[in-house]
Amino acid sequence: MIGFYILASLVILQGLVALWEGVRYLRFVRQQMLEPPGDYAPKVAVLAPCKGIDPGFQETIRALLEQEYPDYEIIFVTESRQDPAHEVIERILTGRTHPPARLVEAGPAEGRGQKVHNLLRALEEVSDGVRVFAFVDSDATPPQSWLRRLVAPLADPMVGATTGYRWYVPAKGNFCSLLRSLWNASIATALGPHRRNFTWGGSTAIRRETFEAAGVAQAWRGACTEDYPLSRAIKDRGLTVAFVPQCLLPSRGRCRLGELLRFTTRQMLITRIYSPRLWQLAWVTNGMFFAAFYGGLGLMLARMWGGLDPGWLPLWLGLIYAPGVLKSILRQKAVEMLLPDDRAALKRYRLAYWCLFPLANLIYMYNLVVSAVSRRTWWRGIYYELLSPHETVILRRVERGPL
């Protein structure tokens, strides 16, 4: 029991630190919501790699074409004309002249992720006058102010890149989509007014001169993902990544358990390959919570089943659980402010966000175990093996990955 109390004390302390981070996050969001967008607005190239048709795909494409930004171009890129996204984009672009938009084919990737391959192909189409690159995912719908908000902080020469993040809006009646949102929530609020930020490729902007000086394209050559190499290249130059809360983008749609586990495990595997220290830290923090919370819960139930007094165990479990509930409440307040169009849907799941966060820990433990024993993953119909940050092997392609 002494061991449990020591471990529980550490987890409670960890929870209080996380709670303070939640307070800072909400304060930061409220402050940023009052700030007008800056005046820095050079010509931008928005690079939009696409593969398949995501929920709300057409709305996302139209939203990108209707940004409140004075001078920008968009380069959509698919693997080939056979990609169903190609036809949809082609149809939407027909007859449009503003902003300038092009649709190109990248061809199949070899020795790197298809998304990275698509981005490198898109870079070849960028106009000479472009001074900023912006990257966006096809499964996250940006508001009209997205591009202006994302680019403005780059006026500061010490800001190497800006980033938003994704928030999964649960689909009504789909528990797995709720679990996906719970799992992703803790990562979303890890960003904030500090130097530990990282870029999320689905909502990122970087000055062209910084991109080229940092050698990002070279770092992508054998990479499976664009996020970590981009973040590393920026920080290696002594620059920071600025988080822009208003660029938190909603992703909608249903998912099944297999899709949930495949997605979350892939993120953890990518973390293991590209940021081993962060992966090890995830083992420590999630392992401690798992052992203290679920171990203490099992111990309490075992004592009650045997007719013994559970003693102080319920109190200790409550002290472990309470900081997570309070942080979830703060996080929920912030996200509802940032995503007003989805506020009704988010309110519907308030109680689940507040109380079910320990379920995300179970998924994290599964992800960590699987990512420790295998370097292989499915990603949009392609089966990869991640040998190192610079070595990616494509094992095979199928029209759709396994369920």
Strands 203-207 and 159-168, bridge-based pairing: antiparallel
Write down the pLDDT at residue 399.
58
**Encoded amino acid at 356, one letter:** L
Q: Is residue 298 within a helix (H) or strand (E), and if so which, with residue range?
A: helix 295-305
Domains recognised in the chain with CATH numbers: 2-25+276-397 (no CATH), 34-255 (3.90.550.10)
Predicted TM-score (pTM) of the model is 0.91
Total Cβ atoms within 10 A of residue 150: 30
Write down the pLDDT at residue 55.
87
Write down the pLDDT at residue 260.
95
Burial class (CB in 10 A: 0-12, 13-18, 19+), 193: middle
* pLDDT under 70: residue ranges of the chain: 399-403
